[in-house]
Structure 1
Amino acid sequence: MVLSGSRAPLPHGEALVLAVWVAGFGVGTVVHLIELLTQGAAVYGTMPAGVRVFWVSLTIVDPVLVVLLLLRVRASIWLGCAVMVVDVVVNWTAALTIPGATGPGLVTQPLFLLFLLTTAPLLWRSFRKPA
C-alpha cells in the first residue's frame, strides 16, 4: 500500500493499523458532518457551549487528521491520540453530568483510544522520514 509517492509501501500489518486509524477518524468525520447537516445551527443544542464547539470542531479536525495520517505526518499520531483523549473525556463528562447525553460512542471511543495508544509506537516507527 503506497500512501505517498515519495514513501515506500508500508508492511501489511502497519498498513492495516493505519487503515483502522483512518477509518476511525473517517467515521468521526461522517457522524459529525451528518449531525451538523441534519440539525444545522441547533446541533447539540442541549449541551453546554464548550461541548457544542468541541463536537462541531471535530467536523474539521477529524478529516484533517485523515489527510495527515495518509501523508504519514508523524505529528498526526500524537494529534490523533490527543483528540481522542479529549473526546473521551468530554463525552464521559457530559454523560455523567447531563441527563440524556449518552450514546454508543461511550463504548466505542474508549476502545478506539486504547487501539490508538497501543499502536501509536508502531506508526511512529513506520512514519520515519525516507532515507
Structure 2
Amino acid sequence: MKIVWTAGFLIGTLTHAIDLVNFGWLPYDFRPLPFNVYWTSLTFLDPLAALLIWVREPWGIALGAAIMSSNVVVNGYTLSLGYGAFFYPVILQSAFALFVFCVAWRHWASSKTV
C-alpha cells in the first residue's frame, strides 16, 4: 500500500518538476494564475505526501486525500473547458484518487474507537 502511494505521488512530483525544468516557474500559463500556482505547488506537496505516509501516516493520508480530491476537480474542470490533452491524465489520476480514498477510508475506519 505505501509503495503504491509513494510511487503515485512521486510520479506526480516528476511530472510537475519536468514542467518546471522545461517551461520555467509557473509554467501552466494556459490557465489562470490560481490554477498555475496550484499545479506548481504540487511539485512540493506531492513528495511531502509520499514522505508523510512513511513517517506520519495519518498526516500523509490527510494530505494525500486533499491533494487527490483537489487535483481531480481542477484537472476535470480544465478538461471540461476543452483541453483534450487532460483526458488520459484525468483518467489515471481518478484511478489513483480512488486508491487514495480507499486507503484513507480504511485507515479512518480502523482507527475509530468504540
Bin for the TM-score computed over the shorter chain? 0.7 to 0.9
Structure with larger Rg: 1
For normalisation by structure 1, the TM-score amounts to: 0.75
- The correspondence for 2:35, drawn from 48, 51, 68, is 51
1:88 aligns with 2:76: no
- Describe how 1:89-128 pairs up with structure 2 within 5 A: 89-100=73-84, 102-123=86-107
In structure 2, the partner of 1:78 is 62
Q: Number of aligned pairs?
A: 111
The structure carrying a bigger helix percent of its residues is 2
In structure 2, the partner of 1:35 is 19
Q: Distance in 2 between matches of 1:26 and 1:99?
A: 24
**Residues 51 and 60, structure 2, Cα contact 8 Å, conserved in 1:** no
Displacement of 1:41 after TM fit?
A: 3.4
User: How well do the aligned residues superpose, as a CA RMSD in angstroms?
Assistant: 2.1
For normalisation by structure 2, the TM-score amounts to: 0.85
Q: Compare relative contact order (CA 8 Å, sep 6+) and give the higher one, 1 or 2.
A: 1
Q: Which runs of 5+ in 1 are unaligned?
A: 1-16
What's the % identity of the aligned pairs?
36
The runs of 4+ residues in structure 1 deviating greater than 3 Å are 98-101, 121-127
In structure 2, the partner of 1:20 is 4
User: Partner letter of residue 78 of structure 1?
Assistant: A
